[in-house]
């Protein structure tokens, strides 16, 4: 995608006020994801945790279903011999519960025996001494076999993450400690591993008759665009969704910066859905246990502070920001990791107790019902130019974030489709080259409330 210079500003008398027509084929149907990562639930319940709205314990999956959630995310480690959870048996149990509640599942392959995240990507111990060729084969087989095992139980996931927060090279380290220098990515090897995972999902889906949507996930928005540019150049292809982690504590961007990244991504990769697949916000700065809470003062925004209401407003505003910039959803990380008497490697209780959707008694907070809040949903706008034999056409404007986006030739027109917020005023122009966009006539458009077509002029 090419960055275009701003469109030529026209005198008001010469500005073309566009007639926007209803789309002949209105494509309003689009899935939006209101998700939660519930990977800790089985462990927390084994430790005595309960979840409720009014003090009477309820099935937590049914509770999230009743809140309007439509996606559950579950992590999978290869051979986590340090815990009895997040292995295939535990994930199978969780998926059965999700299915029983009518909740679709996003299965998150870490391709590690432990946490894989933006700092580290530890190779599974069983694969540590394999060659790259052997690791590619092992990753493919593990992915394929896992999915077919689940499918045999009626549990083929709806989405699959190929890797978790893969900012660094997938399975790029055998050991890691805090402060280790960042290793450069071997993109030839990285692409082979990613493509093996993607191919395994597609092959398993073809065999099962149901192919999960495939996500690639990078931590923090400031890292995403450069990573996907390099990944595309390396030949990583065939995925459907771009996942972003966004935590104020660990990101250099504010929410507006995140929105701008989502907007550029959806125009750079128009066939992909963009999802904020991890986020969290604390509702209090209090503690129930002595374990250190990871979500502290540096995890809050002044507009929301520390409060249950602030947590709920953050989630609403983040979802609306995602929608306004063409994204497809938000997934909250670990809203059920409440405090119990059990111990983790970090201490007794939970590091996340003040960022869950439940207070210290297990009673639901307002954030649980964030999917039920009122949102303004985007409509699909089709920008088109009559096909006059041009070799190519590009569209740009304030709505593309300054990018020159190639249009597609179809049925006598060049066209480009984009999801936009109703009522928004935007400028758009088209030209035969990115360089010519600076002199293209700017067409002023007000986005209607239903899918519509806007015809642009290049003269």
The CATH code of the domain that includes 415 is 2.60.40.10
Q: What is the model's pLDDT at position 20?
A: 58
Q: What is the model's pLDDT at position 5?
A: 42
Looking at the annotation, which residues are catalytic? 165, 278
The answer to whether the Cα torsion of 410, 413, 31, 317 is positive or negative is: positive
pLDDT of 15 strictly over 60: no
Kindly state whether residues 74 and 6 are assigned to the same domain.
Answer: no
Give pLDDT tens digits for 223-278. Answer: 999 999 999 999 999 999 999 999 999 999 999 999 999 999 999 999 999 999 99
Separation CA 33–CA 459 (nearest Å)? 41
Kindly state whether residues 133 and 200 are assigned to the same domain.
Answer: yes
Cβ partners under 8 Å of residue 205, min gap 6: 147, 156, 211, 212
Kindly state whether residues 140 and 63 are assigned to the same domain.
Answer: yes
CATH assignment of the domain containing 189 = 3.20.20.80
pLDDT of 23 strictly over 80: no
Kindly state whether residues 16 and 134 are assigned to the same domain.
Answer: no
pLDDT of 353 strictly over 50: yes
C-beta separation of 23 from 453 below 8 A:
yes
Kindly state whether residues 94 and 220 are assigned to the same domain.
Answer: yes
Kindly state whether residues 168 and 93 are assigned to the same domain.
Answer: yes
**What average pLDDT is seen over the chain?**
93
Kindly state whether residues 368 and 381 are assigned to the same domain.
Answer: no
Could you say which of 313, 342, 372 is where a domain stops?
372
Higher pLDDT: 290 or 99? It is 99
Q: Which helix (H) or strand (E) holds 317?
A: helix 308-324
Kindly state whether residues 172 and 62 are assigned to the same domain.
Answer: yes
Kindly state whether residues 165 and 281 are assigned to the same domain.
Answer: yes
What is the mean predicted confidence (pLDDT) over 124-143?
98
Kindly state whether residues 273 and 172 are assigned to the same domain.
Answer: yes
Kindly state whether residues 362 and 433 are assigned to the same domain.
Answer: no
How crowded is the C-beta side of 312, counted as CA atoms within 13 Å? 17
Could you say which of 346, 372, 398 is where a domain stops?
372
Say how many domains are in the chain: 2
Could you say which of 353, 372, 391 is where a domain stops?
372
Q: What is the model's pLDDT at position 107?
A: 99
Read off the pLDDT band of 38 (50, 70, 90): very high
Q: What is the model's pLDDT at position 18?
A: 42
Pairing of strands 452-455, 20-22: antiparallel
Nearest C-alpha neighbor of 151 from the set 209, 78, 75, 238:
209
Kindly state whether residues 279 and 173 are assigned to the same domain.
Answer: yes
Domain boundaries, position 390: 2-27+377-455
Give pLDDT tens digits for 162-195. Answer: 999 999 999 999 999 888 888 999 999 999 999 9
Provide the percentage of residues in the chain whose pLDDT is more than 70.
Answer: 94
Give pLDDT tens digits for 296-350. Answer: 999 999 999 999 999 999 999 999 999 999 999 999 999 999 999 998 888 899 9
Q: What is the model's pLDDT at position 24?
A: 46
């Amino acid at each position: 995608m090419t960055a275009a210079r701003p469109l030529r500003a026209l005198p008001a008398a010469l500005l073309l006020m566009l007639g926007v027509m209803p789309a002949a084929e209105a494509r309003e149907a689009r899935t939006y994801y209101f998700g939660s990562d519930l990977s800790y639930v089985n462990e927390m319940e084994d430790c005595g945790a309960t979840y409720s709205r009014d003090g009477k314990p309820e099935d937590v999956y049914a509770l999230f279903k009743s809140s309007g959630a439509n996606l559950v995310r579950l992590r999978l480690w290869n051979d986590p011999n340090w815990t009895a959870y997040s292995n295939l048996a535990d994930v199978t149990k969780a998926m059965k519960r999700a299915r029983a509640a009518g909740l679709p599942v996003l299965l998150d392959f870490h391709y590690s025996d432990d946490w894989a995240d933006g700092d580290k990507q530890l190779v599974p111990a069983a694969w540590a001494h394999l060659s790259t060729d052997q690791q590619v084969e092992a990753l493919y087989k593990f992915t394929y076999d896992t999915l077919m095992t689940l499918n045999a139980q009626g549990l083929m996931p709806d989405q699959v993450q190929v890797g978790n927060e893969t900012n660094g090279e997938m399975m790029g380290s055998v050991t890691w400690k805090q402060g280790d220098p960042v290793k450069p990515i071997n993109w030839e090897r990285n692409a082979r591993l990613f493509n093996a995972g993607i191919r395994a999902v597609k092959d398993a889906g073809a065999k099962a008759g149901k192919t999960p949507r495939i996500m690639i996930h990078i931590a923090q928005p400031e890292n995403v665009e450069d990573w996907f540019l390099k990944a595309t150049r390396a030949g990583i292809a065939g995925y459907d969704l771009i996942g972003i982690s966004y935590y104020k504590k660990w990101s250099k961007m504010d929410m507006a910066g995140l929105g701008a990244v989502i907007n550029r991504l959806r125009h750079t990769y128009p066939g992909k859905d963009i999802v904020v697949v991890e986020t969290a916000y604390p509702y209090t700065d209090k503690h129930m246990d002595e374990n250190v809470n990871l979500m502290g003062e540096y995890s809050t925004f002044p507009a929301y502070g520390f409060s249950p209401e602030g947590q709920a407003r953050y989630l609403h505003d983040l979802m609306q920001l995602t929608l306004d910039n063409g994204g497809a959803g938000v997934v909250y990380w670990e809203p059920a990791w409440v405090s119990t008497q059990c111990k983790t490697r970090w201490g007794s209780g939970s590091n996340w107790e003040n960022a869950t959707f439940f207070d210290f008694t297990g009673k639901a907070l307002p954030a649980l019902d964030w999917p039920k809040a009122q949102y303004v949903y985007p409509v699909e706008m089709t920008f088109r130019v009559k096909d006059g034999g041009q070799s190519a056409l590009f569209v740009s404007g304030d709505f593309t974030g300054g990018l020159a986006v190639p249009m597609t030739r179809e049925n006598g027109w060049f066209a480009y489709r984009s999801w936009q917020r109703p009522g928004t005023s935007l400028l758009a122009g088209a030209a035969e080259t990115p360089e010519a966009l600076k002199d293209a006539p700017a067409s002023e458009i007000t986005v209607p409330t239903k899918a519509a077509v806007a015809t642009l002029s290049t003269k």
